[in-house]
């Protein structure tokens, strides 16, 4: 008897998690994805652990009620600060993006593999949690974490190839590389940052400090897919989209994150 297609919940504070969904779609034929962007309460990255955990658990509970059998926390901030609370609150497997991101960085230690070190760009809350530092240390990697609080609003504005974003990146990367000149790998520790990858590469080249770039979104998608029994289905995956604020903005910006136009997005209210 054929197995019923799995329903997978994917959530982020906003659009960034669509970069994880974008990686999941080509590798999970037959699956049904329910994506929630908690746009009304974005950004998570500037909030306290308690608030982030409360928002994350209510988002996870919503996806459980939609039939999710696996929850992919496609948000580094929620993964860094609320993974334990999510696992305790939900009766389904929960996977975050930090451990897969660190594991992918460990696979690309760069030329100085005796004392490998990586630079992690992330939100302020993710950096303050030191979740990447711990996940990397467990794999023998030294992590330098750099908070980049201006990047999420710039990406949310659609300024992914804009002189202001280029200048902000140049400042963040120069500061980080002055602190950690021996890093060989850079981890995109926020699901908004894959959209900035071309600009980050260009800025690193201008700084004469090219780095291997690891995308935690890509690594997390493959780790999540490994948790689902292989399907014989060749049917394209299906998706439902929910957001907690402006549907129009979600549809407009979301298509850049997903790499394809978004179908109908439904508005839901998860409270404050």
Residues with a catalytic annotation lie at 75, 190
Query: Which residue, 9 or 109, has its beta carbon nearer to ligand DGL?
Result: 9
19 binds ligand DGL (CB under 6 A): no
224 binds ligand DGL (CB under 6 A): no
Site stretch for ligand DGL (CB under 6 A), options 8-16, 112-120, 169-177, 218-226 = 8-16
Least CB distance from residue 237 to ligand DGL, whole Å?
A: 22
Site stretch for ligand DGL (CB under 6 A), options 11-19, 58-66, 159-167, 179-187 = 11-19
**Separation between Cα atoms, residue 189 and residue 199, nearest integer Å:** 16
Residues 36-65 that bind ligand DGL (CB under 6 A): 42-45
Residue that is written with structure tokens 């995308």 in the block? 215
Out of 192, 215, 219, 250, the residue judged to bind ligand DGL by CB under 6 A: 192
190 binds ligand DGL (CB under 6 A): yes
**Separation between Cα atoms, residue 257 and residue 265, nearest integer Å:** 15
Residues 226-265 that bind ligand DGL (CB under 6 A): none
Site size with ligand DGL, rule: CB under 6 A: 17
Query: Which residue, 152 or 228, has its beta carbon nearer to ligand DGL?
Result: 152
Query: Which residue, 42 or 106, has its beta carbon nearer to ligand DGL?
Result: 42
Out of 39, 59, 123, 185, the residue judged to bind ligand DGL by CB under 6 A: 123
Query: Which residue, 6 or 85, has its beta carbon nearer to ligand DGL?
Result: 85
Query: Which residue, 191 or 203, has its beta carbon nearer to ligand DGL?
Result: 191
Interface contacts to ligand DGL, rule CB under 6 A: 12-14, 16, 42-45, 75-77, 123, 126, 152, 190-192
């Amino acid at each position: 008897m054929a197995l019923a297609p799995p329903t997978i919940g994917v959530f982020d504070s906003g659009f960034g998690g669509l970069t994880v969904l974008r990686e999941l779609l080509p590798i999970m034929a037959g699956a049904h994805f329910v994506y929630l962007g908690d746009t009304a309460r974005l950004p998570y990255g500037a909030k306290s652990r308690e608030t982030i955990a409360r928002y994350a658990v209510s988002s996870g509970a919503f996806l459980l009620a939609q039939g999710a059998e696996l929850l992919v926390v496609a948000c580094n901030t929620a993964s860094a600060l609320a993974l334990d609370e999510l696992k305790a609150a939900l009766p389904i497997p929960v996977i975050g993006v930090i451990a897969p991101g660190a594991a992918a960085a460990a696979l690309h230690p760069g030329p100085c593999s005796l004392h490998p070190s990586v630079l992690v760009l992330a939100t302020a809350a993710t950096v303050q949690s030191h979740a990447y530092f711990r996940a990397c240390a467990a794999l023998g990697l030294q992590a330098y974490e750099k908070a980049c609080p201006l990047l999420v609003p710039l990406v949310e504005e659609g300024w992914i190839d804009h002189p202001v974003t280029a200048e902000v990146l140049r400042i963040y990367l120069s500061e980080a590389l002055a602190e950690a000149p021996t890093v060989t790998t850079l981890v995109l520790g926020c699901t908004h940052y894959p959209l900035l990858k071309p600009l980050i590469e260009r800025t690193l080249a201008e700084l004469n400090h090219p780095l291997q770039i690891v995308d935690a979104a890509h690594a997390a998608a493959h780790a999540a897919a490994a948790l689902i029994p292989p399907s014989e289905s060749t049917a394209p995956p299906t998706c439902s989209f929910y957001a907690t604020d402006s549907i129009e903005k979600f549809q407009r910006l979301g298509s850049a994150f997903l790499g394809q136009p978004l179908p109908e997005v439904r508005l839901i209210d998860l409270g404050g």
